[in-house]
Amino acid sequence: MKTSIFVLSVLFSSIAVAQNNGLHQFKVKTLEGEDYDMASLKGKKVMIVNVASKCGLTPQYEDLQKLYDLYKDKNFVIIGFPANNFLSQEPGTADEIREFCTLNYGVSFPMMEKISVKGKDMHPLYKWLTGKDLNGVLESDVQWNFQKYLIDETGSLVKMIPPKQSILDQSVYDWIEGK
């Protein structure tokens, strides 16, 4: 009996972690310095991706924009977080990042202020994304620029997609479409 109660206690604690500390608890800033409340994303599937302008993976902006254009009116959003954690591949200011993304890739999905996605100064959102003790789902390290995290409509982490894996993979479409 004690074992069953302990197992249920652990299970409910894990569920509480995932629900109470989900994506919707965070507030961030846009590239323009405006407040952005992640609670505004309740009911939407979200892809969070750390981006950089001077990386070999930077052309992924094109596929991110294609995916966003296809599903932006179907309760799906992509949020880009510029980060300069990997070989200083995002050295630009907010204005330079916005100009680069707009001119080169037509980026229209929300872009947030530059943050740190690893190390001692890691942003709290990325602590949640990468820490199983916080997200209740998986432990991960941000491997490089353009690592993607999928979050469901309730704000719970679902999956991590490695930097080099295409987001135009059928499994991503299936997840967005609920298949």
The domain 2-177: what is its CATH number?
3.40.30.10
| 55: annotated active-site residue | yes
Work out the average pLDDT over 101-116.
97
Please tell me the pTM assigned to this model.
0.88
Evaluate if residue 9 carries a pLDDT over 70: no
Evaluate if residue 117 carries a pLDDT over 50: yes
Domain boundaries, the chain: 2-177
Closest listed residue to residue 149, CA positions, set 53, 41, 55, 54 = 41
Burial class (CB in 10 A: 0-12, 13-18, 19+), 79: buried
Q: Please give the share of the chain, as a percent, with pLDDT higher than 70.
A: 88
Catalytic residue from among 18, 55, 57, 94? 55
Work out the average pLDDT over 41-70.
97
Instruction: With cut-offs at 50, 70 and 90, classify the pLDDT of residue 11.
Output: very low
